A and B are shown apart, each in its own frame.
Chain A
Amino acid sequence: MGRLRALFEDFGRLIFFAGEALAWVVRPPFRPELVLTQMAAVGVGSTFIVATTGFFTGMVLGLQVYYAMRQFGAEGYVGGSVALSLARELAPVLTALMVIGRSGSAIATEIGTMRVTEQIDAMDTMAVNPIHYLVVPRFLAAVAMFPLLTMLFNVMGYLGGYLMGIYVLAIPAGPFIEHTRTLVETVDVTHGLTKSLVFGAVVAVITTYRGFSATGGARGVGEGTTRAVVMSSIAILVVDYVMTLGAVGAGR
């Protein structure tokens, strides 16, 4: 019972933390140089891992879909199916999970270390709001970079699927591309990108919150980082389900 209560209390604090962060986003002074630094860390730094993951996911997806489609002679639909799965589901979710592992953990560790070495208290006593200075730039960077990385995942994934389909599975390029055009609409891509935007916000809030609530020493920071990764990964899957339900229910 006590643990359950602690869990809800923690969740409540997270919501307040998110509210405070959002309130600070619109208040000056704005710190574009910090946002840019974080965009480089979260975004540019993640391009390699996201591109690689996207490429291999596309190739594997091509193979698996081919295996299924061949059973009723619909090999031409491989391209469309790959693109649709990527755009609506796999690109936003896998990108988020990869970036959590790479940048989310780094954010939680950095802020957690600043917390336990009193750097955050120091900021407070210098009349600089730590949420404004530390959370807002990371939040904006994640919200901006998650959709961009997701789009990169889409492109690399489709490229992987295309190379697999045309050169390995010998599917004719004509129907491969033609069926992609008929199956995938703009709304599918924007649905995936909208998801990734929300994922960016969720990941930024959870990882910074975990950093802020770190206690003790190195061990506390480590635990905070673990919890940040676990909590944001689960949150991504839950939010993804809810958003998909909303979109499919609305016929999109």
Chain B
Amino acid sequence: MLLGRGGESVIEVKDLHKSFGGNHVLRGISLTVERGTTYVVLGGSGSGKTVLMKHVIGLLRPDQGTVFVDGVEIPKLEGRQLTEARRMFGMVFQGAALFDSMTVFENVAFPLKERQRSIRAAELRRRVVEKLKVVDLEEDVLNKFPSELSGGMRKGTCSARAVVHEPKVILYDEPTTGLDPITTAYVDDMILQAKRRLGVTSMVISHDIASAFKVADHLAVLYDGGIAAQGTPEEVRRSEHPFVQRYLSMWFEKQ
């Protein structure tokens, strides 16, 4: 099943261990994300899912094990090489993290402009508008400031900014946490659209079960620093791991 798409792996996490002081947060995580698919890491707070994502993008170094992204071994990189490698990623933050002193246009243009300082204004504008369309935002938001946008529009702008330089991987950090149901649905659609329209590989960390099952091609449930279950949504749902059953039943009972 894991190789169902004739899959070529983009992210490979191998036996990852990490402790902070005496706190063993990750105890041997292994997972594979295939090109063009969305992988959701589900887990409660303190399960280590944020720590896992920080290893993928190279903000933290593992005690043991390693991470490959598109064939590059991230923990081995330093300084300029790491900066280069970060260009493979686009990241969507929980709180959108838009630069509040800049307009929507300047925000979305920022990664492009910083990378290609000689880029022409017309080209810049074309690419910004194109990426805003991916998340169903129109040109009229270009000159607005983040404080003038709704929560959903902020998330959309953040996603457009994450994909504007055409990254290989998009990382979503709790994309639906704290959002109302309608905005949550919008964000779920946005993740699906980004996959469909751009063919991009995504990794989502979340504790929102409903949203996870909607967007995931594969998912993993993190528990106590290890993976309690992983596979397709159907496989995870049938998992017999006691924590996974308890965790998922809370949500499926509500349906």
Contacts and interface: CB of A to CB of B under 8 A. Distances in A.
Given A127-B86, A128-B110, 11 more contacts: A113-B100, A117-B97, A118-B94, A119-B100, A122-B91, A126-B86, A126-B114, A127-B111, A127-B114, A128-B111, A128-B114
B89 to A, nearest CB: 6
Contact of B59 (A29, A124, A133): A124
A237 B19 CA distance: 43
Given A118-B97, A119-B97, A119-B99, A125 B114 contact: no
Contacts of B161: 126
A129 interface: yes
B180 interface: no
B93 A127 contact: no
Interface string B41-75: 00000000000000001010000000000000000
Contacts of B101: 110
A1 B97 CA distance: 38
Contacts of B84: 127
Interface string A103-133: 0000000100110011101101111110001
A107 B87 CA distance: 29
A118 B94 CA distance: 9
B93 A118 contact: yes
> At the interface, is chain A mostly helix, strand, loop or mixed?
helix
Nearest to B98: A119
A126 B111 contact: yes
A70 to B, nearest CB: 54
Contacts of A127: 83-84, 86-87, 111, 114-115
B95 interface: yes
Bin the interface of chain A by size. 10 to 19
B117 interface: yes
Contact of A29 (B57, B93, B110, B117): B117
10 contacts: A113-B100, A114-B99, A117-B97, A117-B100, A119-B97, A121-B93, A124-B86, A125-B89, A126-B161, A128-B111
B95 A118 contact: yes
A113 B95 CA distance: 13
The 3 A-B residue pairs with the shortest CB-CB distance in the complex, in nearest-first order: A118-B97, A122-B97, A127-B86
A116 to B, nearest CB: 9
A238 B89 CA distance: 45
A38 to B, nearest CB: 12
A29 B118 CA distance: 11
Which one of B98, B114, B161 has the greatest number of beta carbons of chain A within 10 Å? B114
A125 B110 contact: no
Contacts of A128: 110-111, 114
Given A29-B117, A119-B100, A125 B57 contact: yes
Nearest to B83: A127
A117 B86 CA distance: 20
Contacts of A113: 100
